[in-house]
């Protein structure tokens, strides 16, 4: 079943505990945490103290998406917090393969993310064979609520082909502008994991699980 990852960027942060609780009991759900540093992307979100609290309170696996210039700092400092997935940006590190190997020592799952202008052929076979997830950005990273860029479909195809040629089983995750209007096409194209922020959190809290069902339909 497709994993749905609500992006907490769009949640009500002053009521985060009740926001997290409203997803209790939903299967195949990860909480997606967007960490932005004001350098790699213009926007700024939250760092370690908040991540630690969210992981503690969440009844689901936590998926951290680091839109930062120094993911090595987070790799080192978050390793005891219980994060499930650690995704860094391909564009932020000099040697993504060696960095992914370092992250693998600390987290059960490691992802690499590519911005809309980064082609999939930049991801080497050796990198793909180390990571557990590729995050395809379908908007420019930095802000929620942007429109989906259809270039994600070609990237899904290319990665699916490489994955089967290489005999690998990394997840393909899509992030940005995901709604019930494109989720079926994305799942049919081969996406394993859909991140959705504003689509879910623009609904009232008692509707979150319905929104998740609509994304899977
Ligand atoms: C954008 C973030 C996304 C964002 C998605 O840089 O990586 O996770 O929260 O938000 P929506 O679903 O509103 O496009
Ligand atoms: Zn994200």
Mean pLDDT of 185-212: 98
Q: What integer pLDDT is reported at residue 53 of this predicted model?
A: 96
CATH number for the domain that contains residue 102:
3.20.20.70
Catalytic residues: 34, 175
| pLDDT, tens digit, 9 for 90 and up, residues 3-53 | 999 999 999 999 999 999 999 999 999 999 999 999 999 999 999 999 999
Ligand 1 binding pocket (C-beta < 6 A) is: 7, 9-10, 32, 34, 65, 139, 141-146, 175-178, 195-199
Structural domains counted in the chain: 1
CA of 141 to the centre of ligand 2 (A): 7
In the chain, the percentage of residues whose pLDDT exceeds 70 is 100
Q: What integer pLDDT is reported at residue 117 of this predicted model?
A: 98
Q: Which ligand is nearest to the CA of 8?
A: 1
H/E element, 50: helix 48-57
pTM over 0.95: yes
Tokens 């195949």 identify what position?
28
Mean pLDDT score across all residues of the chain: 98
| pLDDT, tens digit, 9 for 90 and up, residues 161-184 | 999 999 999 999 999 999 999 999
**Residue 125 belongs to what domain range?**
3-216
The per-residue DSSP string of 161-217 comes to HHHHHHT---EEEEESS--TTTHHHHHHHT-SEEEESHHHHTS-GGGHHHHHHHHH-
């Amino acid at each position: 079943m497709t994993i749905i990852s609500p992006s907490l960027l769009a949640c009500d942060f002053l009521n985060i505990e009740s926001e997290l609780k409203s997803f209790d009991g939903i299967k195949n759900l990860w909480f997606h945490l967007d960490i932005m540093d004001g350098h790699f992307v213009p926007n700024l979100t939250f760092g370690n103290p908040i991540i630690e609290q969210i992981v503690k309170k969440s009844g689901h696996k936590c998926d951290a998406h680091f839109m930062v210039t120094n993911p090595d700092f987070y790799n080192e400092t978050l390793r005891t917090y219980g994060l499930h997935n650690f995704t860094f940006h391909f564009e932020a590190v000099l040697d993504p393969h060696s960095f992914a190997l370092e992250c693998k020592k600390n987290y059960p799952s490691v992802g690499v993310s590519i911005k809309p202008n980064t082609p999939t052929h930049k991801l080497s076979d050796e990198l793909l064979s180390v990571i557990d997830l590729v995050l395809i950005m379908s908007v420019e990273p930095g802000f929620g609520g942007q429109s989906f860029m259809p270039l994600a479909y070609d990237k899904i195809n290319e990665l699916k082909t490489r994955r089967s040629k290489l005999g690998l089983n990394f997840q393909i995750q899509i992030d940005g502008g995901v709604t019930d209007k494109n989720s079926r096409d994305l799942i049919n194209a081969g996406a394993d994991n859909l991140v959705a922020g504003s689509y879910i959190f623009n609904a009232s809290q008692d509707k979150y699980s319905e929104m998740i069902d609509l994304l899977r339909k």
